[in-house]
Structure 1
């Protein structure tokens, strides 16, 4: 909806009706997104951090000042589906102004191929932006321990413990209710993105202990009959929103000296920890992460730079193997004939 809102505001600025938009208008819209400043990102940089700067604690780059390439592509996808719907209903223009990617569609080459054949490499559709491949944002154990220690309340500790031991998305966590917690089986039910189905996901015993401590504290003032779990600690109590959740993490980031840890980093950390466990297959991790495709899980299997640095340090510090010598009982003269250069 936000992408379509941007599109409608752009059309209003250039005085073009939505059903009269042409391909050149889409081109101008993309060009504007590439140079415009994102107001949401400006609001997040109140600490004076430069756009795109590397955080010295987490090693992550801060968000840039403009719209990301993935945001531009998402907007084009939303606009394309919007106009396709109105083409089917006959309420919109005759031609979709958003260009199609070459090689797509049921009647085009590569649409009916065997899954054993390699996928054809197709050029990006016009106006689509090249998105850099993102690296997993898993937190090292030392940094996570410091972050968890900086949390001030049992509610915040329960949120982070569930986030790092069951991998929920922020919307899935905030929508949790008491009936979705099964303490006996050590699982929680999460409403999966897209399908809107409740799926069981195991969580750690520590997460249930922190959750029990938080629920015991809120038993007296939690609204009667309302089974939502997460509430604000300030009076009057209100259900937690995404903005409130982000403030919880920001306060802990400030305690660490200006870190930029987000809630989705906990999901990345959860996935990387599962992949490092030799007892879990990648298909098990796919099920735990609730990925529709195993390709989404394989993104997390790439080596992290922290792991590579540690392995290279071990490599450089490893002592050199000893030089081969002649075993006792052999004549050195005979060995030098059989193996020249052996001392």
Structure 2
């Protein structure tokens, strides 16, 4: 139920119910609900009913998101790295203080879809208050699936989203991160992350029946299709997993493999694993995330000459090959190392083929 001040918001509930019946992921439906509740609060401030909203109200939403600090970025410890700063060890910037352009664009997409849904039933304003790009409308109406997608301009109010390059963990920093893990459970998790390429939540959902010891693979519920998919695991990862289970007990077929270590065993959640990474970051002075482990696995795979790009795409379960191709871009750290070698390399002395007279060379080349 979606409610404000204890009162259910029927238009939002109707829309979210339609998304649920369309087999949309529960996490996606939840994110849509948060965006629509934010939209509802904006309308309440200006005292406008949802079915009377105009483009001016949408502009107010975008303006508010652009200037308002994101509460999740606030830091009570002023000595801690501030939002927007760059970590000198990893080269990764921290998230900015405000809402990201992708967050604003997502909010516009949600609000637009909400009004498109109600327009089908003759509810709401006559026109969608979220403006759409005329070029995009023409492209979707007359575009042949056999032709490549033509570049298009951003729609009105849409924010410019910079293209992010995946940042993998260099081998030296990876060794430091792995060394900070204090338990075989955590070492096993990190080893599986960089050998399987599984997403954080996928790996944490593994049960006792999902471990295939003979074939050295795990079965995870894929984020996109929500179907069971096999992912590989390195011998090192299975070795640490065996040590962990020897210490904490082997789970039953339906019991989670990854459990808490203190008190009564409970399933290890995403937030608990995220906290493990945060503690390691404090020790190392880094800002690695769980998703960087997937980037590291992908980068290692695409740089293996024995693996083709379609094979890496299959392991990572990317829908499009273009998502895998982005890992072909050289690491920034590798480029820096090569440039340092270039700077320190002595300039080659010019040489000439034997048989030429030195005076003739000096006359021709002015030496």
TM over 0.5: yes
**Does 2:213 correspond to 1:183?**
yes
Deviations 1:254-311 (A, max 9, x none): 221x311110010111111111112222222211221111121222222222111112
Deviation at residue 214 of structure 1 after TM alignment:
1.6
Deviation at residue 157 of structure 1 after TM alignment:
1.0
Deviation at residue 53 of structure 1 after TM alignment:
0.9
Q: 1:45 and 1:140, CA in 2 relative to 1: closer, same or farther beyond 3 A?
A: farther
Show the 5 A alignment for 1:274-313: 274-313=301-340
Residue aligned with 1:104, SS: helix
Residue aligned with 2:135, SS: coil
Show the 5 A alignment for 1:167-246: 167-219=197-249, 226-246=254-274
Farther-moved stretch of structure 1 (281-290 vs 28-37): 281-290
Q: 1:88 and 1:309, CA in 2 relative to 1: closer, same or farther beyond 3 A?
A: same
Aligned residues: 334
Query: Which of the numbers 67, 91, 103 marks the counterpart of 1:71?
Result: 103
Show the 5 A alignment for 1:82-121: 82-105=114-137, 111-112=143-144, 114-115=146-147, 117=148, 119-121=149-151
Work out whether residues 164 and 269 of structure 1, in 8 Å CA contact, stay in contact via their aligned partners in 2: yes
> Could you say what the CA RMSD is over the residues aligned between the two structures, in angstroms?
2.8
Residue aligned with 2:226, SS: coil
Query: Which of the numbers 195, 209, 220 marks the counterpart of 1:165?
Result: 195
Deviation at residue 122 of structure 1 after TM alignment:
1.3
Unpaired runs of at least 5, structure 2: 1-30
Work out whether residues 137 and 269 of structure 1, in 8 Å CA contact, stay in contact via their aligned partners in 2: yes
Work out whether residues 104 and 111 of structure 1, in 8 Å CA contact, stay in contact via their aligned partners in 2: no
Deviations 1:152-197 (A, max 9, x none): 1111111111111111112212222222221211122222222112
More helix by percentage:
2
Deviations 1:297-332 (A, max 9, x none): 2222222221111122233344544643545xxx55
Deviation at residue 46 of structure 1 after TM alignment:
7.2
Q: 1:89 and 1:299, CA in 2 relative to 1: closer, same or farther beyond 3 A?
A: farther
Unpaired runs of at least 5, structure 1: none
Deviations 1:10-47 (A, max 9, x none): 22333333333222111100110001111112269776
Deviation at residue 83 of structure 1 after TM alignment:
2.3
Work out whether residues 106 and 112 of structure 1, in 8 Å CA contact, stay in contact via their aligned partners in 2: no
Deviation at residue 8 of structure 1 after TM alignment:
2.4
Work out whether residues 138 and 266 of structure 1, in 8 Å CA contact, stay in contact via their aligned partners in 2: yes
Q: 1:147 and 1:175, CA in 2 relative to 1: closer, same or farther beyond 3 A?
A: same
Residue aligned with 1:103, SS: helix
**TM-score, normalization by structure 1:** 0.87
**TM-score, normalization by structure 2:** 0.82
Query: Which of the numbers 157, 180, 200 marks the counterpart of 1:127?
Result: 157
Work out whether residues 105 and 111 of structure 1, in 8 Å CA contact, stay in contact via their aligned partners in 2: no
